[in-house]
Amino acid sequence: MVTILKPEETYVFTKEDERDELDTKVAMPGEEDEMEVDEEDEYPEMELEGEATGIKNMVAPGQLITDDPQFMRGHGTYFEGGGIYASVTGVIQRVNKLISVRPFKTKYVPEIGDLIIGRITEVQPKRWKVDIGSKQDAVLMLSSINLPGGVQRRKLETDELQMRNYFQEGDRLVAEVQQYFSDGSVSIHTRSLKYGKLRNGVFLKVPSSLVVRSKSHIFNLPGGVDLILSVNGYCWISKHSKNQESSVSITRLEEEASEAIYSNENDEVDAYTRLNISRMYICVRALANRGLPLTEAAILNFYEASLLYGDLQQLTSPKILDQIAVEAMH
């Protein structure tokens, strides 16, 4: 018995196909060059294991991230049994072949130039120890502050004896990160009119990861309120300072500012400004409690939406705050 098979269909390459292929090459020049430098070929996609393929690649401690030997482990991971595991709860980050996990909650890591708010914890010879929410306290040297009256001279022994007249334990100040030390700590300075001891306001702590870095972290908000939104997550909401609006000379301005910057007494704050400070405090805290990024625009939108509720007691309701948050973000 002979079985006759159906002949296979073969495709005949015609001249029309040749013209179509030529047109395609003309319409897409340099395609071969782009394919040669494609990052996908050099760094292939990482295959995540198990639950690590979830939303935003969130992982928990002990969870396997990948067992591909071509990847290297970074911060927040450890190597065991041929695989890379997460050591903290956070989001997977990949830079080329380096895998790390950014934790949701972590200590503030200072960078040079950051505007920070701190609290004096200890007075030492020629320096202060300042808590800035980092792993180590920052150091404020006596030579890194302005003397009262704007005097520019070398610090003497008499200045060292008067250090507690400038800053003492418990004082809060705004400063700038100046440099790193070999032990990992940082040095800060207050040699500017916008830095120094904080007065006439309230303190608020928020997660530093919610603070969006920008060119300025000192905002002049409506209602005669100033907001210092520092990078380390410490906030200060206070009465508006009129130093920047003064028309006197720079030298005179420095003398007035430096004399008042070390005062321990608050100025008189009227009832209207107190209400606005309280309202701004509620707005910033509500945004932080809902995990929303803290920017000037977001805070202003939330503040304007909250003006519909004249009584601040209404802003203590979580439902009302949720409604305001939805309106502010849209």
Least confident of 28-42, 88-102, 280-294: 28-42
Range 117-139 average pLDDT: 93
Strand-pair partners of 220 = 226
More confident call, 11 vs 126:
126
Range 165-169 average pLDDT: 90
Domains 55-103 and 115-329 in one fold: yes
Q: In sequence order, what are the residues at sequence separation of 6 or more whose Cβ sits closer than 8 angstroms to the Cβ of residue 302? A: 283, 286, 287, 324, 325, 328
Least confident of 93-97, 202-206, 243-247, 318-322: 243-247
State yes or no: pLDDT of 185 exceeds 80.
yes
pTM attached to this predicted model = 0.70
- For the chain, the domains span 55-103, 115-329
pLDDT above 90: percentage of residues in the chain:
35
Q: Which CATH superfamily is domain 115-329 in?
A: Nucleic acid-binding proteins (2.40.50.140)
Residue 42: per-residue pLDDT = 42
Q: Which helix (H) or strand (E) holds 141?
A: strand 138-141
Which residue type, as a one-letter code, is found at position 232? N
> Helix or strand or coil: residue 169?
coil
Range 135-143 average pLDDT: 91
Task: Indicate the CATH number for domain 55-103.
Answer: 2.40.50.100
Least confident of 121-130, 146-155, 311-320: 146-155
